[in-house]
Amino acid sequence: MATGNGSSASAHTTWVSRRVRTRSIPREPESAQPSDALDSRVLLSALTALKRGDFSVRLPVDWLGIAGKAADTFNEVVELNERMAKELARLRQAVGREGRIDQRARLGEVQGAWATSITLINDLIADLVQPTSEMARVIGAVAEGDLSQTMALEIEGRQLQGEFLRTARTVNTMVDQLGSFASEVTRVAREVGTEGKLGGQADVRGVAGTWKDLTNNVNLMASNLTNQVRNIAAVTTAVANGDLAKKITVDVKGEFLELKDTINTMVGQLRSFASEVTRVAREVGTEGKLGGQAKVEGVSGTWKDLTDSVNFMAGNLTSQVRNIAAVTTAVANGDLSKKITVDVRGEILELKNTINTMVDQLNSFASEVTRVAREVGTEGKLGGQADVRGVAGTWKDLTDSVNSMAGNLTGQVRNIAEVTTAVANGDLSKKITVDVKGEILELKNTINTMVDQLSSFASEVTRVAREVGTEGKLGGQADVRGVAGTWKDLTDSVNSMAGNLTGQVRNIAAVTTAVANGDLSK
């Protein structure tokens, strides 16, 4: 036991700890030398803490004599309790929470009741773990499909008792019933699924509850499956033999109902297909396709009749479509002299008439457009209109567009001609007023600007001529803005003439005035 040092005493309360995370009981201030007297108040405080389950409490380690030994012994007892509590907490986590059932309690070198307690705890864990391990072994085998394992009713020569015995018998009964159930279900599944033997039933004796319900459900499934498959087989065999009069009548649900509906629909569609193909082949081929022939080998009954009908229809349709293709190809190449001549009926006749009418309309359209283009573009004959009778849709739109173009061009050219003729006749009061766009608009603006400039030039020249010639007002000049080229040269020439004339007349006037005044020196 450690001894105290008198120099370490202080006037305030001291705390002494022997180990980490333990606390000492506060004691009264010490004298200069440690005492071997037992402090009953400190001891009582420590015992009270221990009673409350506080295993971190410790007595001071610097007591001497009997008091020091008592303190050491007390601290060792508390430490054992603390270790026991921590070990129990570890076992609870490792075994109870983490499932590490191989863990056991350890307290080190202990004796007496401490050692007995550790042994009892470990025996308790073992007694609890052994049935659980055995149950886990059997259930694990069941989960892996092994139904040959059962739980032992004795462990190390000791008969299981209580809940352990009841649980073991329950598990073994469950395994036996699962084995019998699996055997019967496997037999029925093998007979039905592998051997194709319908009508088998599972016989699992002694079962009740869910196991009986499962057995009954398996047998009901096998019985329903037998009836359903046999009915489906009868119908599909009839279809394969060309007999389309049979349908599936068995009462089914779910995906078998979908299969029943699908097969019945198929039979109905096949029956309708056979009837319709025969009818269409007769209507299209006899009363009115292309080289192809149906090759369906090994068929008989209805299927053979269907094949023959389709092939007969295909032969007639071939000649009809090839004639139509020849005419439409000629139209695509610009040859409008061909027409459909094959003998047809029904909708093919309507198609023949439609294409022949289209060729006639294209002929008329091409002829009229060519005529209008020749009259307007080559002969200069305005006012012509394309007259294509009986057309509609795009052909009418095209005809209207050509006529609109010709009409607009006629109006524009005639308006331009009217204005230019007026200019040529000295009438500068007219302008182009027709609504135009693009390059025609540029031409319109150019001519109208030209008329404005000519009008301004004529007005200014007339004004200067009137002032000089009629009013005798010399010095006038023509002001024609925005002109260039010849128009500017003409304006400059008029102004030069007016300027020269002004200078000449004014000089003559000066001389004659001087003569009149008797001055003959000028």
Q: Mind listing the pLDDT tens digit for each residue in 225-267?
A: 888 888 989 989 998 898 888 889 988 888 888 888 888 887 8
- Per-residue model confidence as pLDDT tens digits over 333-390: 988 888 898 888 898 888 889 888 888 888 888 888 888 888 888 888 888 888 888 7
CA nearest to 385, candidates 372, 375, 373:
372
pLDDT(164) > 50 = yes
- Report whether 74 contacts 39 (CB < 8 A): no
14 in helix, strand or coil? strand
Q: Which helix (H) or strand (E) holds 58?
A: strand 57-58
Token pair listed for 37: 């007297």
Token pair listed for 277: 């193909």
Angle between helices 254-281 and 302-332 (to 10 degrees): 60
338 in helix, strand or coil? coil
- Per-residue model confidence as pLDDT tens digits over 185-227: 888 888 888 888 888 888 887 777 887 788 888 888 888 888 8
Token pair listed for 452: 């404005």
- Report whether 32 contacts 65 (CB < 8 A): no
pLDDT higher at 138 or 72: 72
* Mean pLDDT value of segment 276-292: 69
- Report whether 447 contacts 416 (CB < 8 A): yes
What does the chain come to in residues? 522
Distance CA 467, CA 475 (A): 9
Contacts of 468 (CB under 8 A, 6+ apart): 474, 476, 498, 501, 502
Claim: this prediction has a pTM higher than 0.85: no
Token pair listed for 340: 């459909």
CA nearest to 461, candidates 431, 502, 505, 469:
469
Q: 């601290």: which residue's tokens?
A: 75
Q: What percent of the chain has pLDDT over 70?
A: 89
- Per-residue model confidence as pLDDT tens digits over 415-463: 888 889 998 888 888 899 988 889 989 998 989 888 888 888 888 888 9
- pLDDT on residue 2: 37
- Per-residue model confidence as pLDDT tens digits over 90-105: 999 988 898 888 888 8
Q: What are the φ and ψ backbone dihedral angles of 14, each rounded to 5 degrees?
A: -115, 150
CA angle 505–511–515, rounded 5-degree value: 140
- Report whether 110 contacts 102 (CB < 8 A): no
Contacts of 59 (CB under 8 A, 6+ apart): 24, 25, 42, 43, 46, 70, 71, 74, 75
DSSP-assigned beta bridge partners for residue 158: 155
